[in-house]
Structure 1
Amino acid sequence: MTAKKIGVAILFIVGAGVAYAETPSSLITGYTAEAARATPGFAPSAERGQSLFMRKWGVSKTMPSCATCHSDQPTAEGKHVVTSKRIAPLSPAVNPKRFTNLAKVEKWFGRNCKEVVGRECSAAEKADFIQFVSKGSQI
């Protein structure tokens, strides 16, 4: 785990009780705090999150954007273009299990950002992305 990920994990764990569970809001808060260290005054933006989600990054021909597999609506079910595996909706509004476990969130951001974006996503991008999908549909 990188120092950056450890820092994010600590933000979520400090002061938390044993039964603490993450929420989309708490994840946004943690990523926002991390992003604000690099960019004072940073505030998450659903518009930037939508742009990240829809953008064709040019890294992968089979998976040029997040929407390629996740559908262009965060409330809809997606399908992996290579494996044809069904993907549950990203929106916590219709899939309450989404964005409730930091380890899973980091795992999937790590895997998907590297494959689609071509690099690890920043804390600001993660905050924006969760802000967007939490809205439930395109803005």
Structure 2
Amino acid sequence: MLHKIIPLLLCVSLHAMAATPAELLAGYTAQAGQAASIAKGEAFFKANHGQEWQCTSCHGKSPMSGGRHASTDKTIEPLAPAANAKRFSDSAKAEKWFRRNCKDVLARECTAVEKADVLAWLMSVRG
């Protein structure tokens, strides 16, 4: 019996990690308790938050283009879902990268409001 349950649980847990940018945005806005602001998201992405790095340090000025990590020089794929269909398609990966990048840029984790605003802006960016 257990051999039948384990594959089902694995399938359910893998499905729970799959997401769309719109689903992630809905979750962040629900957590934030307010609508996301595209303008605030763009300003956040381009601003200096008092740390050595800002989002553009690695991701570049346009989220439609790739970037390079500021210290490792590793290639970074475009952030905008319109340029990279894999972006924000896995909730666990999105959370992992928000956590890491926010700590680099803000010296703390991002709030749900900040995540929602940035994601709303990234979703709005087109060619």
What is the aligned-residue identity percentage? 45
- Where has structure 1 moved over 2 Å in runs of 4 or more? 17-21
Q: Output the TM-score relative to the length of structure 2.
A: 0.84
Q: Distance in 1 between matches of 2:58 and 2:41?
A: 16
Across the two proteins, how many residue pairs are aligned to each other?
Answer: 114
Separation (CA, whole Å) in 2 of partners of 1:72 and 1:137: 14
Q: 2:77 aligns with which of 85, 88, 97?
A: 88
Superposed displacement of residue 55, structure 1: 0.6
Structure 1 residue 117, shift from structure 2 partner: 1.1
CA distance in 2, matches of 1:125, 1:108: 14
Q: CA-atom RMSD, angstroms? A: 1.6
Q: Is residue 97 of structure 1 aligned with residue 97 of structure 2? A: no
> What is the one-letter code of the residue matched to 1:52?
F
Structure 2 unaligned regions, length at least 5: 1-10
Q: Which residue of 2 aligns with 1:45?
A: 37
Give the structure with the larger helix fraction.
Answer: 2
Specify every segment of 5 or more residues in structure 1 that has no aligned partner in the other structure, as ranges.
1-16, 37-41
Distance 1:81 1:25 in 2: 29
CA deviations on 1:17-51 (whole Å, 9 max, x unpaired) are 93463000000000100100xxxxx1101111111
